[in-house]
Amino acid sequence: MKNLSKIIFIVFSFSLLFFLLPQKSYSEEKIFDADRAFQDYLYNTNLYRQSHSEYIIARESYLKYQTLTSKNTALEKTRLMLKNQDEVTRTYLTALRLKLAEVSGITNYGQNVLYLRLDDEIPWFQKHQQSLNSAGTIEDLVSLSEDGRNQYQKTEILAYQTLGAILTSKQNVLYEEITQKIKDLKEKIGEIRTKGDKNTSLAERWLLEAENRLTRSQEKQFSAQQLLAQMKTNDFNKNESYNKAQFTIEESHQYLKEANSYLKEVVRELKNAD
């Protein structure tokens, strides 16, 4: 009977290992990509929101009662909230950096410049987070939060410019593809014109329209980049400036759509007899 229970125990242990080990190794295989970094950022945002609510309550309590206990609670809650704030910024910049690494329509130079700027920015918030530990009074924390606010004004510009670069790089990929299609169709039209078995003038006109739309798209993209480059740290509403740039990129995208629809017309025209 003892043997039987031993056998059962061994079978049970092996089945445990069999079902649990592969799952563990699967979770270990997960790589730290943009999605993972974004989840990390969201998690820290939730922590920050929670600590911010606690800070508000602790601050109100201190301002109302002015006791030593409420002062100490306010000190600790403020410290925790500011630490979480730094962590949110750090994880956000990491997610943005990884997102930038995933896009392809950006020049190596442009990508590297943004990498360098992001890599300079992330350690600042790490250092700031550490300095919060040495703050002994509420006044120290207020002073450190002012430093954070000044730095974050620069961070916001970098974030918007990186976002703009991500969006324009998507546009660049599409622009390149349409340019290639125009080239292919030009060659085909040239071939047909040489053979002389079909009138190509209408198809050529559509192709010209497509090229015009492509040029307009580039112009819009250029103005969006200018809007992003002109952003300043003392701009009151950076979000508004970014929204303008983003809208301009959408206009540029609309021109690409039109260019592509004209290419469809070129093909239709070439497939139809005169």
Partner 1 sequence: MLTENNPDQNFENFPEIKEAKAIREKMAKKPLIIFVSIFAFVLVAFLSLAIFMSFNQKNLTLTTKNQPTPTSTMELKEEITSPSPYATDAALLKTEEEIKNLDKKLQETDLKESKLNPPVLDWDIKFEKN
Interacting residues of 110 by C-beta distance below 8 A, sequence separation 6+: 165
Tokens 């993209």 belong to residue:
221
How many residues lie near partner 1 (CB under 8 A)? 73
181 binds partner 1 (CB under 8 A): yes
12 binds partner 1 (CB under 8 A): yes
272 binds partner 1 (CB under 8 A): yes
Q: Phi/psi of residue 184, each to 5°?
A: -60, -45
Amino acid at 91: T
Q: In this chain, which of 36, 47, 99, 204 binds partner 1, going by CB under 8 A?
A: 99
> Of 50, 140, 129, whose CA–CA distance to 91 is shortest?
129
> Of 216, 220, 223, whose CA–CA distance to 258 is shortest?
216
192 binds partner 1 (CB under 8 A): yes
Minimum CB distance to partner 1, residue 12 (Å): 5
The binding track of 27-46 with respect to partner 1, each residue x by CB under 8 A or -, is: -----------x--x---x-
> Of 48, 79, 87, whose CA–CA distance to 144 is shortest?
79
Minimum CB distance to partner 1, residue 112 (Å): 20
92 binds partner 1 (CB under 8 A): yes
Per CB under 8 A, which of residues 102..131 are in contact with partner 1? none
Identify the burial level of 202 via C-beta atoms within 10 angstroms of its C-beta, where 0-12 means exposed, 13-18 middle and 19 or more buried: middle
Q: In this chain, which of 110, 117, 154, 163 binds partner 1, going by CB under 8 A?
A: 163
> What is the C-alpha separation between 64 and 206, in angstroms, rounded?
73
142 binds partner 1 (CB under 8 A): yes
152 binds partner 1 (CB under 8 A): yes
Q: What is the dihedral of CA 72, 78, 84, 86, to 10 degrees?
A: -120
Q: In this chain, which of 19, 108, 127, 236 binds partner 1, going by CB under 8 A?
A: 19
Minimum CB distance to partner 1, residue 93 (Å): 9
From 104-112, 124-132, 211-219, 243-251, give the range in contact with partner 1 by CB under 8 A. Answer: 243-251
Per CB under 8 A, which of residues 199..238 are in contact with partner 1? none
Q: In this chain, which of 73, 94, 148, 228 binds partner 1, going by CB under 8 A?
A: 148
Q: In this chain, which of 47, 122, 202, 267 binds partner 1, going by CB under 8 A?
A: 267
261 binds partner 1 (CB under 8 A): yes
Minimum CB distance to partner 1, residue 89 (Å): 7
> What is the C-alpha separation between 99 and 90, in angstroms, rounded?
14
> Of 129, 46, 123, 127, whose CA–CA distance to 82 is shortest?
129
Question: What's the chain's Rg over C-alpha atoms?
Answer: 29
Which DSSP symbol is given to 230? T
From 107-115, 123-131, 227-235, 254-262, give the range in contact with partner 1 by CB under 8 A. Answer: 254-262
Minimum CB distance to partner 1, residue 8 (Å): 5
> Of 121, 119, 115, 94, whose CA–CA distance to 39 is shortest?
94
